[in-house]
Structure 1
Amino acid sequence: MSAIMPEVSVILPAYNCAGFVERSIRSALDQPGVALEIVAVNDCSTDDTLAVLQGLSRQDPRLRVIDSKKNLGPSGARNLAFEQAASEWGAILDADDALAPGALERLVRIARSRDADIVAGSVRFFSHARQEMSRAVFKEDAPVTVLGLREFVDGARPHNREPDYGLLKPLFRIPFLKEHGLKYRTDIRHGEDFHFVVEALVKGARYVLARDVLSYIYTTRDSGLSRTLVDYGRMIGETQTLSRHPSFVADPGVSSAFRRRADALRVHELNELLGKADSLPSKLRVARKSLRTSAGQGWLKKKIVKYIGR
């Protein structure tokens, strides 16, 4: 009897995650109602990650392990996994995170019924240190909606009315990606998901957001598990570049959405820097940095008004 062809390939880059990757893998293997495979790329780890992955693959053949002899970064590892994927759908999963129970079956069903190329559900946040799950961060009883390029970019920013759409971990229809030659940018290691989705939408992808499906559990940064290198300056610069791209300038709504994202990232970076400033000189350095942009100046004015009002 022939093996069942998987419907979903879970794409999992793995770098120095021996102590916690099993949780991530189990959350995928335990998904009910959907035939799946996990394509895990050991990204030249220096710990026991490869041994852990190989041990789990011997227990469950749905886990395929690719041992990269070169460190590719999260984008390169995902690109390699997508090339090897045997399914219609690719689900991004990071080694420190988890899939919510039943998420894949529900998202695949919605994607097919809505003729989607990209489908995402809602997210929650898990603190490993406190062993606590956040409350709903989306209005999870909201209807299923379609996101065009402007809607996605406008929602992909911090301090918005909803969580940053750039944080979502969608399922991608792999034939669409291959048809258009879409790959993750390997020169970006923070915010690469945002650029990947933008490229897909530019190519005509239909993006469906199902807020009523809890699909992804992020492990918060205070847990110390994430290997992502935070680079807000690069994210801001890349977003500004997109806002000036001729094809986006031609659509004022899209160009404005990129500019709003850049400004929101500036404010977010300033808040992060201020939170880490532990002396008056370091706080003054943050204040000087804020004066370089209008968004930063507005942020500083609000801080001053709040301080005076105490």
Structure 2
Amino acid sequence: MPRLSLIIPVHKVQAYLPECLDSVLGQDYADFEVIAVDDCSPDGSGAILDEYAARDARLEVIHLTENVGLGRARNAGLEKAQGDYVLFLDSDDTLSAGALTAISDRLDATGDPEILIYDYARTYWDGKVRRNQRADLLANDGPDVLSLRDRPELLDLLQIVWNKAYRRDFVARTGLTFPPGYYEDAPWTFCSLISAEQITLLDRVCVYYRQRREGGNILKTVSRKHFDVFDQYRRVFDYLDAHEELDVWRGPLFRKMIDHYLTVVEHPGRLPHKARAEFFRRASADYRARVPQGFTRPAGGQGHKYAMLERGAYNAMVSATRAARLRHEVKKRTRAAVNRSKRRAMGVFYRSQLRLPLDENLAVFSAYWNRSVSCNPAAIEAELARVAPHIRRVWAIRPDAVDQVPAGTDYVRVGSREYWAVMARAKYLVNNVNFGDNVVKREGQVHVQTHHGTPLKTMGLDQRKYPASTNMSFSKLLKRCDRWDFSISSNRFSTLVWERVYPCSYTTLETGYPRNDALVNAGSEDVRRARAALGLADRAKVFLYMPTHREYQPDFAPPLDLARLADELGPDVTVLLRGHYFYGTSAHADELRSTGRIVDVSGHPEVEELYLAADALITDYSSAMFDYGVLDRPIISYVPDWETYSAVRGTYFDLLQEPPGAVATTQEELLRLLVSGMYDTPQTTERRDAFRRRFCTFDDGHAAERVVRRVFLGEQTPLPVVPFDERRPVPTPAQALEVAEPEHP
């Protein structure tokens, strides 16, 4: 039997679950089992659990067929536990390094007590870590083993189960189980503490308690669910009634109950306004029914509140707390004044438009900070025109970029009266980056964040670890992300990254990237048309070179001698360069450019056309590799500065170990690969296949339609994804020249 059993209930935590499991399975202590209970989670949590279980036999997964809630999910894990001690961990929290060793050592040193209490720290999205405010209660300044009679102040610790190790035979003997409901920790915590004769303390942070911005906690919701607290304290006092020997705890637990009730009543973010009086009446009834004989109310203001609750004096209670409410209102008015100031800065016209009704048939699109009509928003807009032509589609474009707008496209200049009018009244706002801070998210508006690439480099909150990569305000970033209603994902890898680094209350749509539909649905004629538009010779071998931006380089300068590359590859090879500026001003480079062997396509409006035209892609850390992978054509990773880039910007996986194909770290290696043809071998094909299965999961040619039907038409059942092995790649340029294939369906 293992020494420790860790029970982890799991529900809708796919963005945080890997970190939780890694913190447990990566402990330097080995004598434990993990029982993870998938509480019928609707996201990818169950699949993540199965993947981890396949790699580590210490993890057992239970998949429940219906959602039963946190307490009963823990019960399901308890039934399977075999360890001497049972520990609980929430699936968005983590263990600290060495936690299990410290817990086991303390249990050994104190002769296996019934309960061990250890400490925790709260972790916040902005990187702050704050230890439990009552950490002083865990100081080892007395006997190693004690009971609650020795330290009754332990009842003042937060009512949680996951900061304790419980001897399993103690749990069985006391008959402890978790009830249904939302305050299920209270009965378990109080009943276990008053029943234990042997308690020991560990003055060490063993759990990091994640404070999620987007909620996920009943304490952060206004709801009638808080009435559940009455049932939970009924269970506590039923337990006392059944154990006369524990009657000494009736007074302290009565006080904990009343303090808890008053907290719910007084907190402005708990109960709906119309439910406060009802809650107060029920709390008052509990007070009178359970007040112990001879109970003495606490002194001061708290005692006055006890007296009003006992009398049922709700109106008096409201008056007594008016000062606190007024302070809250002052803060609220201050925030409103700040918001009004921001709106004034937007202009009188915008404010007037914000007061008008939303136009249910108006959608605004933007891409790359209003620079172009492109990327995922453009693909969604085109599909919207096909499926729901009654919705007016308008693009927001910078004044200096209006010449890039295709003919026939409806657009408004950013900053104009027309711009502020559509931004204020459009039902739908679609962007592949965030809209500006001065855009107000109105109630009823729907914001769609499409993103513009699968992340290799760190994004969002993860960039805090790499300060040289950004100087952004992360708090402002998350306020912008709070406006999202939907986040588009092209693969499960991206889903988990986005949900973790942008922890806001949006819905993830795993649809595939709409812009990649063109790469899946193209045919031979599309490939020939793309090459002809670029003036490429029919039989030319074409390499598309797309280096990414490097934060540590002030100017764009590709780490590649393009003139030499084109010269050594010979006259039948053309290099397309997609970057910020054309590199190479020598006479020789100009000559190569004039012959068409180096083509600067940095300003080309449709990157998908470049992908279709190219025989192979040369890139470094650009998200282009994930899109080009859809075509199932060779990809060469040219990464001469991998160590520098990964250290400065940070990456989510090691590109040298998990590349989409061949890898070169010097220009000489790159030349050898290209000249010899070794960039396209069975080995590189195998790497590309693994890469595509991981990152091109949902790109089956129907991504835009999925988005339109879910967001604009409200359809809840998505189109099924075409199985990966049933997809037929777009013809290569050579195949397109040889056979005029019919268009893909």
TM-score by length of 1: 0.77
Deviations 1:123-179 (A, max 9, x none): 211123x23222442335721663427956x644xxxxx54244653111123323x
Structure 1 residue 202, shift from structure 2 partner: 5.7
For residue 185 of structure 1, what is the aligned residue in structure 2?
Answer: 178
Find the structure with the greater CA-based Rg: 2
Structure 1 residue 237, shift from structure 2 partner: 4.6
Structure 1 residues 75 and 56 mapped into 2: Cα distance closer, same or farther (>3 Å)?
same
Equivalents in 1 of 2:326, 2:55: separation in Å?
A: 62
Equivalents in 1 of 2:48, 2:325: separation in Å?
A: 51
Structure 1 residue 260, shift from structure 2 partner: 0.7
Structure 1 residues 263 and 85 mapped into 2: Cα distance closer, same or farther (>3 Å)?
same
Q: Which moved more, 1:235-244 or 1:78-87?
A: 235-244
Equivalents in 2 of 1:76, 1:148: separation in Å?
A: 27
Q: Secondary structure at the match of 1:146?
A: coil
1:120 correspondence with 2:117: yes
Structure 1 residue 215, shift from structure 2 partner: 1.6
Structure 1 residue 105, shift from structure 2 partner: 1.6
Equivalent of 2:321 in 275, 296, 303: 303
For residue 148 of structure 1, what is the aligned residue in structure 2?
Answer: 148
Check whether the contact 1:38–1:63 (CA below 8 A) recurs between aligned residues: yes
Check whether the contact 1:290–1:299 (CA below 8 A) recurs between aligned residues: no
Structure 1 residue 14, shift from structure 2 partner: 1.1
Q: Which amino acid aligns with 1:216?
A: V
Structure 1 residues 36 and 238 mapped into 2: Cα distance closer, same or farther (>3 Å)?
closer
TM-score by length of 2: 0.35
Q: Secondary structure at the match of 1:119?
A: strand
* Residue identity (%): 19
Structure 1 residues 306 and 132 mapped into 2: Cα distance closer, same or farther (>3 Å)?
closer
Structure 1 residues 94 and 242 mapped into 2: Cα distance closer, same or farther (>3 Å)?
closer
Structure 1 residue 254, shift from structure 2 partner: 1.0
Q: Which amino acid aligns with 2:167?
A: R
Deviations 1:39-96 (A, max 9, x none): 1111222221111111122232222212222333222222222222232121101111
Q: Which amino acid aligns with 1:131?
A: G
Equivalents in 2 of 1:237, 1:183: separation in Å?
A: 16
Structure 1 residues 45 and 252 mapped into 2: Cα distance closer, same or farther (>3 Å)?
closer
Q: Which moved more, 1:213-222 or 1:201-210?
A: 201-210
Equivalents in 1 of 2:246, 2:171: separation in Å?
A: 24
Equivalents in 2 of 1:64, 1:53: separation in Å?
A: 9
Check whether the contact 2:85–2:166 (CA below 8 A) recurs between aligned residues: yes
Q: Which moved more, 1:72-81 or 1:135-144?
A: 135-144
Q: Which amino acid aligns with 2:251?
A: S
Structure 1 residues 78 and 237 mapped into 2: Cα distance closer, same or farther (>3 Å)?
closer
Equivalents in 2 of 1:151, 1:301: separation in Å?
A: 37
Q: Which amino acid aligns with 1:234?
A: D
1:264 correspondence with 2:259: yes
Q: Which moved more, 1:79-88 or 1:260-269?
A: 79-88
Equivalents in 2 of 1:14, 1:277: separation in Å?
A: 27
For residue 159 of structure 1, what is the aligned residue in structure 2?
Answer: none
How many residues are treated as equivalent by the alignment?
291
Equivalents in 1 of 2:271, 2:42: separation in Å?
A: 33
Q: Which amino acid aligns with 1:148?
A: L
For residue 57 of structure 1, what is the aligned residue in structure 2?
Answer: 53
Q: How does 1:231-246 map to 2 (within 5 A)?
A: 231-239=225-233, 242-243=236-237, 245-246=240-241
Deviations 1:226-282 (A, max 9, x none): 58998443224532564474357776641111211111112211233x24699xxx4
Check whether the contact 2:183–2:232 (CA below 8 A) recurs between aligned residues: no
Q: Secondary structure at the match of 1:269?
A: helix
Equivalent of 1:216 in 203, 207, 216: 207
Q: Which moved more, 1:11-20 or 1:188-197?
A: 188-197
Q: Which amino acid aligns with 1:107?
A: I
Equivalents in 2 of 1:182, 1:250: separation in Å?
A: 16
Check whether the contact 2:187–2:233 (CA below 8 A) recurs between aligned residues: no
Structure 1 residue 189, shift from structure 2 partner: 2.8
Q: Which amino acid aligns with 2:118?
A: G
Check whether the contact 2:37–2:64 (CA below 8 A) recurs between aligned residues: yes
1:172 correspondence with 2:172: no
Q: How does 1:55-134 map to 2 (within 5 A)?
A: 55-114=51-110, 115-128=112-125, 130-134=126-130
Equivalents in 1 of 2:78, 2:94: separation in Å?
A: 19
Q: Which amino acid aligns with 2:165?
A: L
